[in-house]
Amino acid sequence: MVHLSIENLGLIEHAELEMGPGLQVLTGETGVGKSMLLASMAILRGERTRTDLIRRTAERARVRGIFHFDGPTAMKISELLGSPIEEGELVIEREVRREGRSRCRIDGRENTTTILRRIAPLLIEVIGQGHALTLLQPGAQLDLLDRFGGLLELREEHARSWQEARELEGKIHRIEEGVRERSDRRLFLEHILEELDQASITGDERENLEQELELLEDRDQLLASIEMVRQQFEQQEGSILDQLAETRRNLQGMTALHPGIEALVEGCSESSILLTDAVRGLADVESSLDLDPQLLDQKRQRVDQLVTLENRYQRSGEDLIDYRDECREELAILGGADDELPQLREGLQRCISQLSEGAHRLHIARLAVVAQMVEQSTAELTDLGLDKARLEGQLRTLEPAVGWNGMDERGADHFEILFCANPGESLRSIGDVASGGELSRLMLALQRVLAGSTCTGTLVFDEIDAGVGGRLGAAIGEKLHQIGNDHQVLCVTHLPQVACHGTSHYRVIKESRGQVTSTRIEEVTGEARIQELASMLRGDRATERSLEEAREMFTEAQGLTREPGH
């Protein structure tokens, strides 16, 4: 990062910070607003920001960072962004509003915090007082080993293949679940087809049967009516047919007198013929009503069957026929739905075999760098006052119950750093034996060892020297300066023994104007820097002696950190 601009964040109304290479130290009294500088780094990383950090008199806070990159880091960021970094410069601006919304711009273009968080590990890493505790998190120590050995790309390749294999396994499981579901569906469809085929339904069968039954239900009344009609039309004296015949005979000789009489005679003749045929047809009706009681019961049962099927499937007769055809078509389709399963299972086995081979290559590569990492870290601990400490790296294969087919997304290994601070003690897990101070120094030693392996542009150390004395502070300052040879390092510190090792030194100052309090950041150089170091040594009681002590400390630190090999 070459430039940082902060507006309306905490006590900071407006602050500009020009940052150079190497170790940048930031000092100031407690409560002046150094934490807001760290908050600005979190904002630039795309992390969620509390709205109560916005300055009380403002509606929004804005942080802007300008980063310079070259080589592999610029290429990686370009790949993640999907666009090239012009002239190696990247401008990130993020605005946080009081109502909770935020805006993110990357090189002047609106973007999402999701993308920002994706590139954040290449921009800034914040290492706070509690950061050493991440060493105790599952997989953290293996991450450090892979970073040290330059194995992250190989591990990422394994992780992609592992994810693809798990997705393939998931697909197989879903298909297998589908097989069971389809098997149940097939049985269901087969039952439906068997029932409907046996029923031999025709579209209007129920309506016809119900009409027949309705007719049969009124049989006696209907037969009596037929007999009465027969009596009225032909059997009784003076029946209708007799009257028609008599009328015809009486008028037969008068047809020449008037056409109307002729028409009446013809009508009587025709009506007689039609009525005679109709009355004879009643014999067929009587015959149909003379039904076997057993056949009548069968018709009733058939109607009940049809009504049951229609109610069960919520379809009428015509629709039941269509539904039967649909079931037959679906059953035919389901018959060939599971043909791909054998090929998928075979493909999964190939993936697992390839993954196992890749995990083994990763294991061999890790074995080759464990001893080197432990040796270098132990040497760094010597400089940090733990000259009697011992480290050992333990790389072992995952327990079968932990991984999937003996692997997880990191490979097939579990890595643990074993530690003891004093001679005669046994090596144990660092979480069991390391104190807070020892854990912090171990983290710093690992950061120093990893300095040449990480692509992160800016490392921010937040009071990593808390609770450490002056003698050890000097060693920490030297380590931070050494890390600054590979990275830009920003360190917030209260120790002058650390601050004197900085390539640049910035002071955070809180000022009050009437009822308004604000914080500003200024670079201190020359004699002003000596005075700041003396104030850190003695507070407001800085004396000529403390100034001389600060000058001597600064001169020694600057000379030491510039010697070859440091």
Strand order in the sheet with 124-127: 109-111, 102-106, 89-97, 60-68, 3-9, 12-18, 516-523, 504-513, 23-27, 488-492, 458-462, 124-127
Structure tokens of 111? 């973007």
Residue 55 φ then ψ, to 5°: -55, 140
Question: Using CA atoms, how far apart are residues 142 and 415, in angstroms rounded to an integer?
Answer: 5
Q: Which two tokens stand for residue 396?
A: 């072992």
Identify the burial level of 536 via C-beta atoms within 10 angstroms of its C-beta, where 0-12 means exposed, 13-18 middle and 19 or more buried.
Answer: buried
Domain range annotation of the chain: 183-334
Question: What is the number of other CB atoms lying within 10 angstroms of the CB of residue 25?
Answer: 28
Distance separating the N- and C-terminal Cα atoms of the chain: 23
Q: Helix (H, G, I), strand (E, B), or coil: what is residue 259? A: helix
Distance CA 332, CA 76 (A): 52
Q: Please, which residues bridge with residue 109 across strands? A: 106
Look at the pTM and tell me if it is higher than 0.85: no
Burial 175-213 (b: 16+ CB within 10 A, else e): beeeeeebeeeeeebeebbeebeebebeeeebeeeeeee
pLDDT in single tens digits along all 566 residues of the chain:
999 999 999 888 899 999 999 999 999 887 777 888 888 998 999 988 888 889 888 999 999 999 998 777 888 888 888 888 888 899 999 999 998 888 999 988 999 999 999 898 888 888 876 666 667 776 888 988 998 998 988 998 999 999 999 989 888 887 777 777 777 888 888 898 988 888 888 877 887 787 777 766 666 677 778 788 888 888 888 888 888 888 888 888 888 778 888 898 889 889 889 988 888 888 887 777 665 667 767 777 888 888 888 888 888 878 888 888 888 888 877 765 566 778 888 889 999 999 999 999 999 999 999 999 999 999 988 888 888 889 999 999 888 777 888 899 999 999 999 988 888 888 988 878 767 777 778 888 888 888 777 778 888 888 777 766 667 888 889 989 988 888 899 999 989 999 999 999 999 988 888 778 888 899 999 999 999 999 888 876 667 888 999 999 999 988 864 544 44
Identify which of 92, 119, 98 has the alpha carbon closest to the alpha carbon of residue 5.
92
Distance CA 10, CA 31 (A): 11
Radius of gyration in angstroms for the set of CA atoms belonging to the chain, rounded to a whole number: 49
Tell which residue, 119, 121, 31, 103, has the closest CA to residue 64: 103
